[in-house]
Structure 1
Amino acid sequence: MTDEHAPVTGANLIDWGHRPGPQFPELLARANAARGKGLGLVRIRQLLDADLPPPAPEPLTLHAAGDVPLHVSIRAEDADEQDNLDKVIATMTEVLKTPTVEAGAVMPDACPAGSLGTIPVGGVVATRNAIHPGMHSADICCSIMITDLGHVDPKAALDAAQAITHFGAGGRDEGNRLAVSPDLMEQFRANPFLNGNRMLNAAQAHMGTQGDGNHFLFIGRSRATGRVAMVTHHGSRGPGSLLYKGGMEVAERFRKVLSPATLKQNAWIPADSAEGRDYWQALQVIRSWTRANHGALHQAVVEQLRADPGNRFWNEHNFVFRRGDLFYHGKGATPAWSDFAEDATGLTLIPLNMAEPVLVVRGRDADHALGFAPHGAGRNYSRSEHRRRMGAMTPAQMLAAETAGLDIRFHAGQVDASELPSSYKRAGAVMDQIRDYGLADVVDCIDPYGCIMAGEIAPHWHARRTRP
């Protein structure tokens, strides 16, 4: 058989401008049926022209350094802070080269959170028609909730909370799970990013869990009212992590076509695409789940104490917020405008460290901060560097020195020194910068009685399992 009568192949289709995909078998079948009727390649190509995909867009070019405004609401007060600030500016400079970005900002708690070009903690990035999963991170909707417990004994509150909450990896055992609303589970099933079996199981098993790292449960007393309050800090746990993974996979597919020069961690999903609309809705479902996760723990403690609770509110700091035509990605940054969500109260929470008060603030919606405020105190150097600087002091000695008079508990029974106050920026400096940069007004302080800290030390049973 000569080339004139050879069958049409995938290589022919690619030469004619078709892109490999699930439509290829049907195109080849039609082409070779026409071939069998004696049609030549030119005529077959013409018959398939109607099935050609639209031309691939020209790859977007990166912004040049300095093209996108960066608003800096942080100052260095010593050499460590200057080194930290230099690294934050360096990584934000790379982030702002991403073609979708229109503005960036850094908060007083800013610190690096990955390789160069990764949005830092305390970073805010505004984009047009783009949702960047890497800019809200795997801990989607990490957030803080407060409940006014009334005039209860703070030790009783901390004891009740310790008996109820769940720290560490994984979820709750099946016989110890907290209920998830059937309506919320239906929202999971209705979204293509959320309807997998692994996701649905995590949504049930991880309800009422707080994870590890810097997540905590804090009991303190309001200076304004004298009433005891409970504050929790954690995010969306397994469901959020799985959504992040799925979002990054979709974003990477778009990156390869739209902007191969963009760093992988800054890939995006076009907001006006079908995938973008589904991902945006998935974020809202995860937000609802996370709020319920906090609320389940708070309500269980209220019921255990038979308390007469007052106000309860919350705010997130690893999320994407839509305002006008732009998407604002806050990585460890909190919206400081009053109606950032339907359940916003105008008040937000900023914890500092376990020995300092949790600030209750009213945001100022400052233009120079893209409308955001810090989410906490941040770090000036890594956990490992903090351990190195401890010298001969043990974690227990540091805990006693830095939290005298407070009831501090770690979920694994061991002190993680990298979560002690000395591992964070000086609380007073962060408060001063919140005031000096006009980011928020403090309306109350929840002074600490004690807290349960997650930390990063594996629980004792893990050590037993891994022994040879």
Structure 2
Amino acid sequence: MTNDHSTVTGADLICWGHRPGPQFPDLLSRANAARDQGLGLLRIRQMLEADLPPPPPEPLALRAADAIPLHVSIRAEDANEQENVDKVIATMAEVLKTPTVEAGAVMPDACPAGPLGTIPVGGVVAARNAIHPGMHSADICCSVMITDLGHVDPKAALDAAQAITHFGNGGRDEGNRLAVAPDLMDEFRANSFLNGKRMLHAAQAHMGTQGDGNHFLFIGRSRATGRVAMVTHHGSRGPGSLLYKGGMEVAERFRKALSPETLNQNAWIPADSAEGRGYWEALQVIRRWTKANHNALHQAVVEQLHADPGERFWNEHNFVFRRGDLYYHGKGATPAWREYAEDATGLTLIPLNMAEPVLVVRGRDAGHALGFSPHGAGRNYSRSEHRRRMGAVTPAQMLAAETAGLDIRFHAGAIDASELPSSYKRARAVTDQIRDYGLADVVDFIDPYGCIMAGEIASHWRGMRARR
């Protein structure tokens, strides 16, 4: 209830409909100046009505089922794949109910990536005036880079890479870090999403690191040139994970205000808001950091080998791309149009598995795929399900059977069975579907010599703790 004393208080303003904020001191000053001149509370309230905040917008309702088109570029080869495809389509149907979404697509490597309503791996979502952090995931800008190393010994290249790269949790020790350009660090400090102590430390300590899971360092030979090539696959590491966390917190505040019915994982930041502009620029800084992360490893290997390198290019597949007035979210999907970024070359990379070639492709910008192509082979079932299906076969036996003749190394020492070829979709089927759905043209194959992966990180770190 409004007071009848001589001073207007913040409680009066709130009672009249004003929201606490930086404007409160000015409102109180004007109100009490009028009070000193003898105006009554009713007249003061009327005087300040012009400063009332606009009423909150009506919550945005979810879209009706099937209101938004879903473009499907995947087909099942067997019952396992059919179950996988059914789950992908079911989860995308929920994603497409999000009020900002204009269209969706799934690639030939699509597989579920979380609870129902979570964008799947191999999913693409076009949204209007909205950036959805949950749709690029915590592994922001997960990407692949290739360097033509020339006519070098592939074993020497893999040896050099193994001595230089860093897999596993955390970053490099202080005496073993790779430099981050000072101007790039300045870009972190200039952005409110990136200017934190943990973020700045991660940006320095995680440079030249590759993480775990399906990230790898691959050495192979180009069929087109006969030259040896190095391919790396990893994302933005700690900096990207921290940005994702901050972005989801901001998106959740908007979700509660704008569309409480929207699933938490599909919350968004309005792109035209101050927060949206800041987050968009933060994504671009993280992209530059991730490219530098790849570059640092590639250049170190080139220098160790005294190689005469040729072409180097890269592309991301967990990111947000602006095209026209829409924001395209690719979760494990690769942009297939030439101008998606200033450094785009028109060529992109599609790894399949450690025993198969990395495809070098030229995207077709297919409208039915929203301009995207797949990022890899994808899975038909989870890591734990793959381990269950192994039965009595050991990881070492499976590795020997599936990668005969290849030099496969695990940085942590233990074999990660969930990354062996049998855990992924059949490579030939994915390649055929890329062709059949008109998503990209293969221009070269990088045939495998060997690769380095993180390995079974959990058991590795348990052993390290026990030894300590």
| 1:98 partner amino acid | T
In the alignment, what sits opposite 1:370?
A: 370
Equivalent residue pairs, number: 467
Could you say if the C-alpha distance between residues 350 and 19 of structure 1 is closer, same or farther in structure 2, counting changes exceeding 3 Å? same
Matches within 5 A, 1:22-37: 22-24=22-24, 27-28=27-28, 31=31
**Pairwise CA distance, 1:423:** 0.6
In the alignment, what sits opposite 1:231?
A: 231
**Pairwise CA distance, 1:137:** 0.6
TM-score after normalising by structure 2: 0.96
In the alignment, what sits opposite 2:458?
A: 458
In the alignment, what sits opposite 1:310?
A: 310
In the alignment, what sits opposite 2:256?
A: 256
In the alignment, what sits opposite 2:50?
A: 50
In the alignment, what sits opposite 1:14?
A: 14
**Does the aligned pair in 1 maintain the 2:98–2:262 contact within 8 Å?**
yes
Matches within 5 A, 1:36-435: 39-435=39-435
**Does the aligned pair in 1 maintain the 2:142–2:235 contact within 8 Å?**
yes
Task: Map Cα deviations across residues 103-126 of structure 1 (whole Å, 9 max, x no partner).
Answer: 000000000111111100000000
Task: Map Cα deviations across residues 196-226 of structure 1 (whole Å, 9 max, x no partner).
Answer: 1211111111110001111000000111111
Q: Which runs of 5+ in 1 are unaligned?
A: none
* Partner Cα separation in structure 2 for residue 459 and residue 303 of structure 1: 33
Task: Map Cα deviations across residues 105-160 of structure 1 (whole Å, 9 max, x no partner).
Answer: 00000001111111000000001111111111110000000000011010000000
| 2:170 partner amino acid | G
* Partner Cα separation in structure 1 for residue 466 and residue 241 of structure 2: 25
* Partner Cα separation in structure 2 for residue 163 and residue 348 of structure 1: 27
| 2:407 partner amino acid | D
* Partner Cα separation in structure 1 for residue 226 and residue 79 of structure 2: 39
Q: Which runs of 5+ in 2 are unaligned?
A: none
**Pairwise CA distance, 1:464:** 3.7
Could you say if the C-alpha distance between residues 19 and 430 of structure 1 is closer, same or farther in structure 2, counting changes exceeding 3 Å? same
Which secondary structure state, in structure 2, belongs to the residue aligned with residue 201 of structure 1? helix
* Partner Cα separation in structure 1 for residue 105 and residue 46 of structure 2: 53
* Partner Cα separation in structure 2 for residue 462 and residue 26 of structure 1: 59
* Partner Cα separation in structure 2 for residue 381 and residue 455 of structure 1: 19
**Pairwise CA distance, 1:16:** 2.0
* Partner Cα separation in structure 2 for residue 3 and residue 440 of structure 1: 71
Task: Map Cα deviations across residues 6-40 of structure 1 (whole Å, 9 max, x no partner).
Answer: 86555543332222345446645655665576643
Which secondary structure state, in structure 2, belongs to the residue aligned with residue 213 of structure 1? coil
Task: Map Cα deviations across residues 383-405 of structure 1 (whole Å, 9 max, x no partner).
Answer: 11001101001111111111111
In the alignment, what sits opposite 1:4?
A: 4
| 1:113 partner amino acid | A
**Does the aligned pair in 2 maintain the 1:133–1:251 contact within 8 Å?**
yes
* Partner Cα separation in structure 2 for residue 263 and residue 182 of structure 1: 39
Which secondary structure state, in structure 1, belongs to the residue aligned with residue 160 of structure 2? helix
Which secondary structure state, in structure 1, belongs to the residue aligned with residue 81 of structure 2? helix
**Does the aligned pair in 2 maintain the 1:214–1:455 contact within 8 Å?**
no
**Does the aligned pair in 2 maintain the 1:4–1:40 contact within 8 Å?**
no
Q: Percent identity?
A: 87
Which secondary structure state, in structure 2, belongs to the residue aligned with residue 117 of structure 1? coil
Could you say if the C-alpha distance between residues 268 and 307 of structure 1 is closer, same or farther in structure 2, counting changes exceeding 3 Å? same
* Partner Cα separation in structure 2 for residue 116 and residue 394 of structure 1: 33
Which secondary structure state, in structure 2, belongs to the residue aligned with residue 349 of structure 1? strand
TM-score after normalising by structure 1: 0.96
* Partner Cα separation in structure 1 for residue 335 and residue 44 of structure 2: 58
| 1:460 partner amino acid | H
* Partner Cα separation in structure 2 for residue 208 and residue 263 of structure 1: 35
**Pairwise CA distance, 1:51:** 2.6
* Partner Cα separation in structure 2 for residue 36 and residue 242 of structure 1: 51
Could you say if the C-alpha distance between residues 225 and 255 of structure 1 is closer, same or farther in structure 2, counting changes exceeding 3 Å? same
**Does the aligned pair in 2 maintain the 1:96–1:104 contact within 8 Å?**
yes
Could you say if the C-alpha distance between residues 102 and 364 of structure 1 is closer, same or farther in structure 2, counting changes exceeding 3 Å? same
Could you say if the C-alpha distance between residues 461 and 115 of structure 1 is closer, same or farther in structure 2, counting changes exceeding 3 Å? closer
* Partner Cα separation in structure 2 for residue 35 and residue 335 of structure 1: 62
* Partner Cα separation in structure 2 for residue 50 and residue 369 of structure 1: 49
**Pairwise CA distance, 1:248:** 1.0
**Does the aligned pair in 1 maintain the 2:126–2:329 contact within 8 Å?**
yes
**Pairwise CA distance, 1:3:** 5.2
**Pairwise CA distance, 1:467:** 7.8
| 2:67 partner amino acid | D
**Pairwise CA distance, 1:189:** 1.3
| 1:303 partner amino acid | E
**Does the aligned pair in 2 maintain the 1:145–1:314 contact within 8 Å?**
yes
**Pairwise CA distance, 1:186:** 1.2
| 1:41 partner amino acid | L
**Does the aligned pair in 2 maintain the 1:315–1:334 contact within 8 Å?**
yes
Could you say if the C-alpha distance between residues 85 and 41 of structure 1 is closer, same or farther in structure 2, counting changes exceeding 3 Å? same
* Partner Cα separation in structure 2 for residue 41 and residue 212 of structure 1: 65
* Partner Cα separation in structure 2 for residue 53 and residue 207 of structure 1: 45
**Pairwise CA distance, 1:462:** 4.0
CA RMSD, 1 decimal: 1.8
**Does the aligned pair in 2 maintain the 1:364–1:438 contact within 8 Å?**
yes
**Does the aligned pair in 1 maintain the 2:3–2:12 contact within 8 Å?**
no
